[in-house]
Chain A
Amino acid sequence: MGTFIGKPIKRREDARFLKGAGRYTDDIKLPKMTQSAFVRSPYAHAKIVRIDTTNARNMAGVVAIYTAEDGCGEYGVPCGWQVNFKNGETMREPKHPLLAKDKIRHLGEAVAIVIAETLEQARDAAEMVEVDYEPLPAVTDPQKAMDSGAPLVHDEWPDNAAFDWCIGNDRAEVEAALASAHHVTEMEYRNQRLAPNAIEPRSYIADYDVNAGKWTLYTSTQNPHLIRLLLCAFVLGIPEHKVRVLSYDVGGGFGSKIYHYTEEALLTWVSKEIGRPVKWTSDRSEAFLTDAHGRDHVVKSKMGFDKDGKIVAHLTDEYCALGAYLSTFAPAVPTYLHGTLFQGVYTTPLIHLNVTAPFTHTVAVDAYRGAGRPEATYLLERIISKAAKEMNMDPAEIRFKNFIPPFDGVNEPGYQTQVALQYDSGNYEAVLKRGLEMLGYEEFRKEQEEARRNGKLLGVGISTYIEGCGIAPSAVVGSLGARAGLYEVGAVRVQPTGKVSVFTGTHSHGQGHETVFAQFVADKLGIDMADVEIEHGDTDQVAFGMGTYGSRSLAVGGSAIIKSVEKVLEKGAKIAAHKLEAAEEDLEYAEGKWTVKGTDKSVSFGDVSLTAYVPHDYPEGLEPGLDFSSFYDPTNFTYPFGTHIAVVEVDSDTGKVHLKRFLACDDVGNVMNPMIVDGQIQGGVVQGVGQALLEEVVYDEVGQMLSGSYMEYAMPRADDVPMIETDRTVTPCPHNPLGVKGAGEAGAIGSTPAVVNAVVDALSHLGVTDIQMPLTPQRVWKAMHA
């Protein structure tokens, strides 16, 4: 701990949010700004026969209307990750046009954009655009999409597969081990499709300045630089240095605001055409139809055990939906962010995962909080609990039996998995022990027995997860198909007065970077937090960074900043030595000043800063200034882990699940601000509970969405969940300077299987072994009465 590191410092971003003074994109109004509305397809799959905009153009306030005919961004929006077929064939990569031309491939695909003076006028005119469609049969289920004769999403290929992929040991070897296993547990289910639902809908304003020949794009993104690059170099072919992307306050992302969406490119194009700023803010219905979704895997899995309950082999086949077009990181999610976590926290010697990833007549599926890792964790944690029941073992006992033994990555090497990764450090037994202690597991089992005798359905579920954060190094992710690097940039600009501006390429949309980053910078420099300001979300201010997702900001972005802090101190020491007429080796730095060891001669950080910018009496040959920028490319991922435990009671009459307690003991490495880490865990847990009990995007047979509003798509509300009891162990990351791992996704990864395990446990004496998520009262009741 330092003065600030490790302390629950209150957030400096809060005051503006609490006063209603946040600056979200939709809050911004520019002079002469126009508004826009989209004309979207009411069909999932259709031919566009005719578009007539004549009547719409004559409506009051209409400035312009564009369709694909107008030639906007003909290259379309690109995909940022390439996963090829197992046989070496290249990934099938369709063009993703900004406006549909000839054919519709998912419900809500945009056909035209209407620009008007006011939003009401734009919407009114959009309704007057006439489009004739010829509806075609659609396929929305990833497994059915691979049936022969399934409707094709893209006619240029003979079937719907974008790619297939496998990872792990030789399939035949895994099958043989399963054939000779003492016991085999099987599962078949769907990891259902989810809508991320950040409460702030996506919003964009594009502003072309005719005189300067420059664009400003205000956008609700997690990822400003990548948006600029994709927009300029791939979609519109405009010069990158003429575009400024700004994302001030962003109201939650959870993955859905990582991607480069067609709307932001189209608005950028439109703004130049009309020579005025143009805004579009999604409404909630459009968000359901057009924000990238998460999950949607159809899973078939087998896990083999020896007679002691040790896992001997694991084989899984999955169909993973990609949607109609490939979203920015979509191919990575069911593959490298998913299959690589199939080791879990267990010593499983043989693993094989096969993934078939088809196009479907739905909106794209991409990373959603956890991205591939929740799906892997759900499978592992459900199947091992199911196996325990089948083998008459306690679910905690079977886990203890299979855990990878503790290793710190310093004295012991990292743990090499069967699925490509090397874990950095871990102590999985410790978090499970602590989790059981938090609950009072033995006591609970007695209470449960008693409750059962009284006809009450009480259950406990355990999940012991691991996840991979801050994916890197760039060369490795490049070899896995990423078309981007995954380093981060961090600059420290010391002002002449010793005040410090920090520039980070990560982006904060709820995580509290402005506070946390200032905490460790102030500590490392030995200055007051008030003297440190964190800047992000402006591509004109910050060098090319990679944004925030995958719980990477502190582990990767924080490390880049630390590198710059070190450079500041190194140069500062040279200036201090000159001022103190001492040798650099004789100086020590603490509490914001350099002191000649063993004396009271010292010079402050502020004095050195001023000298750097007023270099009159200055070391010879040294450049003026105290301003450094660094790029940090990690040597490995980080691997947080933890134990989540859910206690539920099921209403025997209605099947309604009541989540009574939720306990989480997580290990995210060193903790900079425990208040914020706990908040991240609590929020993540509840999102995971949402998947377990409430949430599902449902498309019907023809590709209509049956869950397109808050009336049908249920998310956790305050009275659906209890307080989330948290604790932690600390196993530092051995390979980054702060020893941090990442906390943004852990909650959502660990919690879902804990809840489902608890419900199945509550009903196990009724013969229930599995229930399809979400565990709605109807499904639970049916399972109880099957």
Chain B
Amino acid sequence: MNISITINGKLVTHDIEPRISLSHFLREHLDLTGTHIGCDTSGCGACTVTLDGQAVKSCTVLAVQADGSEVTTIEGMAQGDQMHPIQEAFREHHGLQCGFCTPGMVMTAADILKNNPNPTEEEIRHGLEGNFCRCTGYHNIVKSIQHAAEQMKA
């Protein structure tokens, strides 16, 4: 099937098998390997991207379902060398260790802050519910998002 998706601001047109997931499409066909696969069954959140502005687990979206949509992946967050405030905040607050869950965490954080620019700790934790991190114990991820919220207000 032929699909056209705007990915990180660029229009991409591809002929793909209908059974291919968005995550697989991004990684294998477009070499956007920042989107990670931790489970492939919507359990871990490592594959989170935004689809028309909303966070989705790209392993459970078919690429064909994204036809005509706008997708942002982790590679689309920084502007050249200028990291997004959320990325900066993760670095500042040691919100990552092995880095594998990180792209999903950053994309989910973007979604949390878009819907709620002043989240409480509880709201942040609730918003991260779909994302596993096995390294950080979430402590510094929560702190990073709190810090990002402040920076983005300023």
Contact = CB atoms under 8 A, between A and B. Distances in A.
Interface of A: 10-11, 13-22, 24, 26-27, 29, 119-120, 197-201, 249-252, 254, 281, 283-284, 509-512, 675-676, 678-680, 682-687, 709-711, 715-719, 721, 723-724, 747
A131 B137 CA distance: 43
B38 A201 contact: yes
B31 A29 contact: yes
Contact of A718 (B94, B129, B135): B129
Contact of B83 (A18, A676, A719): A18
Contacts of A198: 98, 100, 134
A198 B121 CA distance: 25
Contacts of B78: 18-19
Contacts of B11: none
Contacts of A719: 122, 125-126, 128-129
A19 B132 contact: no
A512 B91 CA distance: 12
B97 A718 contact: no
B37 to A, nearest CB: 7
B137 A685 contact: yes
Contacts of A24: 33, 36, 100
Given A11-B94, A251-B100, A718-B128, A21 B34 contact: yes
A26 B73 CA distance: 17
Contact of A200 (B83, B98, B137, B141): B98
B72 to A, nearest CB: 11
B117 interface: no
B151 interface: no
A170 to B, nearest CB: 43
A199 B17 contact: no
Which residue, B31, B98, B103, B122, has most C-beta atoms of chain A within 10 A? B98
Interface residues of B, number: 59
A721 B138 contact: yes
Interface in B1-51: 17, 19-20, 27-28, 31-41, 43-44, 46
B75 to A, nearest CB: 5
A715 B102 CA distance: 17
A725 to B, nearest CB: 9
Given A284-B40, A709-B43, A199 B98 contact: yes
Interface string B95-109: 011111111001000
Given A19-B34, A199-B133, A686-B137, A510 B98 contact: yes
Given A284-B43, A718-B125, A723-B139, A22 B99 contact: yes
19 contacts: A14-B99, A17-B102, A18-B74, A20-B32, A22-B100, A26-B27, A29-B31, A120-B17, A120-B19, A199-B134, A252-B97, A283-B39, A510-B98, A686-B137, A687-B134, A710-B39, A717-B130, A718-B125, A718-B129
Nearest to A118: B28
A715 B91 CA distance: 25
A439 to B, nearest CB: 18
Interface of B: 17, 19-20, 27-28, 31-41, 43-44, 46, 73-75, 77-78, 83, 87, 90-92, 94, 96-103, 106, 121-122, 124-126, 128-142
B106 A18 contact: yes
Nearest to A747: B137
B57 to A, nearest CB: 12
B136 A682 contact: yes
Contact of A721 (B19, B40, B137): B137
Contacts of A716: 137-138
Given A680-B97, A710-B41, 9 more contacts: A14-B90, A19-B34, A20-B35, A20-B77, A201-B37, A679-B97, A686-B139, A717-B131, A718-B128
A509 B37 contact: no
Contacts of A676: 94
B91 A11 contact: yes
Given A200-B38, A510-B97, A718-B124, A10 B32 contact: no
Contacts of A254: 134
Contact of B75 (A19, A283, A718): A19
A719 B106 CA distance: 17
Contact of B33 (A27, A284, A709): A27
Contacts of B19: 120
B68 to A, nearest CB: 24
B47 to A, nearest CB: 11
B134 A715 contact: yes
Contact of B135 (A14, A21, A249, A252): A252
Nearest to B121: A723
Nearest to A717: B129
Nearest to B100: A251
A675 B33 CA distance: 28
Contact of A710 (B43, B103, B137): B43
B31 to A, nearest CB: 7
Contacts of A281: 37
A719 B122 CA distance: 7
B15 to A, nearest CB: 14
B73 to A, nearest CB: 7
B34 to A, nearest CB: 2
A718 B38 contact: no
Contacts of B135: 199, 252, 510, 679, 683
Contacts of A19: 34, 74-75, 77-78, 83, 87
Which residue, B106, B126, B138, B140, has most C-beta atoms of chain A within 10 A? B138
A679 B129 contact: no
Given A284-B43, A718-B129, A17 B96 contact: yes
A8 to B, nearest CB: 8
A119 B28 CA distance: 10
Contacts of A678: 94
Contacts of A18: 74, 78, 83, 87, 90-91, 96, 99, 102, 106
A253 to B, nearest CB: 8
A624 to B, nearest CB: 39
B46 A199 contact: yes
B138 A199 contact: no
A248 to B, nearest CB: 11
A252 B98 contact: yes
Contacts of A22: 34, 99-100
Contacts of B38: 199-201, 284
Contacts of A710: 39, 41, 43-44, 132
Nearest to A249: B99
Contact of A251 (B91, B94, B99, B128): B99
Contacts of A251: 36, 98-101
Contact of A682 (B36, B122, B137): B137
Which residue, A14, A680, A684, A685, has most C-beta atoms of chain B within 10 A? A14
A717 B127 CA distance: 10
A274 B105 CA distance: 39
Contact of B92 (A10, A13, A27, A709): A10
Contacts of A29: 31
A678 B97 CA distance: 12
Nearest to A16: B99
A213 B77 CA distance: 43
A723 B140 CA distance: 9
Contacts of A120: 17, 19-20
Contact of B39 (A16, A284, A685): A284
B128 A717 contact: yes
B17 A682 contact: no
A631 B131 CA distance: 41
A21 B31 CA distance: 11
Nearest to B123: A719
B132 A717 contact: yes
Contacts of B46: 199
A743 B101 CA distance: 22
A28 to B, nearest CB: 9
Contacts of B139: 679, 682, 686, 723-724
Contacts of A718: 124-126, 128-129, 131, 133, 138, 141-142
